[in-house]
Amino acid sequence: MTWFFIFGVPLVLSILLTPIIKKIAIKIGAVDHPNARKVHTKVMPRMGGVAIFLATTIGLILFAHETEEPLLWILLGSLVIVITGIIDDIKPLSAKTKLVFQIIAAAIVVSGGVKIQFITVPVFYKIIYLGEWSWLVSILWIVGITNALNLIDGLDGLAAGVSSIALSTIFIMSLIMGNTMVAIITLVLLGATIGFLFFNFYPAQIFMGDSGSLYLGFFLSTLSILGFKNITVVSYLIPIVILGVPIFDTIFAIIRRFRLKLPITAPDKKHLHHCLIDMGFSHRKTVLIIYGINILFSLAAIFLSQTTVWIGIIVMTILVLFVLIGVEWTGILGETKKPVTRFIVGVGSWLFGIAVNKPHIRG
């Protein structure tokens, strides 16, 4: 068994299965109709996530059957998620109904031992054991990431590409940490996702639908719990940074809707990909820009896992500033003011002025 086959088999399976799922989706009416919120202009088959799910499950049966017991619980939970997604792809479910099934799926995984048991506090080097609260924190994390990835699935190849970058990062870090189980599971899912991406990148032939975006978000959230339990004192930041794009996009969506006094589940066209398109970027360039942002976050996550606490804090501060500047320039919160940008420009001008006016001392 080599890494090549672990990646290649689900990749080929996904490539073979996706056209079949596409035909089935059209036949049963699992299609996405264009509307004012959506970018596409023609009816598109969805439910492509089923191809990712089948390719991943077969790959895990072939290559991960010797891994630890938590995998069985993850597969059971993901089955609940995919069935929920399929139903929603055929006939849209209410947000509350989907949330209930997401909580059930998360509870299944947590009951199998896949849970956040403690949080480390940098600087003070303290470990806070969650005890009974670990159930609640773990379920909130899984459900939160599941929905975060679902929210960014608005452009051809966006969710699949962002997931592939996150999975690649988790795979690299699991190798660094010597976590073979997580490496195998991650590589199988990565192969299946990239196989689907051949049909989903712009111009897409099929959408992954909720069966795909919910499934990938669910699997990524559980993998992040499995993979980053004991790295460093900043370990709890690693999965947040890796999944930075969907997490921050979701956070800003909640803030935006709260400011506008709208329900959290209310749809809008102010997500990151919408804002970039409004700025004049093409569909393809918008997706590639978000890929680039995600790669930057992923590189930062790898660096964070190998550095000291104080350097990690500096890196996180820079990342937060980068995010805030991006928020101001894209208008993701609907604001026209740019206080952070003005502050940084002001500080830069002040420092430059000092350097220019500094008297030269001749010897």
Contacts of 206 (CB under 8 A, 6+ apart): 18, 21, 22, 25, 44, 45, 46, 47, 48, 199, 200
Question: Which phi and psi angles does 191 have, rounded to 5°?
Answer: -60, -45
H helix or E strand, kind and range, residue 121: strand 118-121
The tally of CA atoms less than 13 A away on the side-chain side of residue 175 is 10
**Tally of CB atoms within 10 A around 11:** 23
Give the C-alpha separation, 158 to 197, whole Å: 9
CA–CA distance, 280 with 240 (Å, rounded to integer)? 29
- Residue 75 CA to residue 117 CA, distance in Å, equals 21
| 150 annotated ligand-binding residue | yes
**How does DSSP assign 36-68, residue by residue?**
TT-S--S-EE--THHHHHHHHHHHHHHHSTTS-
How far, in Å, CA of 234 to CA of 121, rounded? 7
Can you read off the two tokens belonging to residue 12? 């080929």
CA distance 145 to 154: 16
What distance in Å separates the CA atoms of residue 137 and residue 86, rounded to the nearest whole number? 27
SS3 270: coil
Structure tokens of 335? 């604001």
Residue 210 in marked binding region = yes
CA angle 336, 337, 342 (to 5 degrees): 140
Is 105:78 a contact under the CB 8 Å cutoff?
yes
Q: Write out the binding residues.
A: 150, 210
Q: Write out the binding residues for Mg(2+).
A: 150, 210
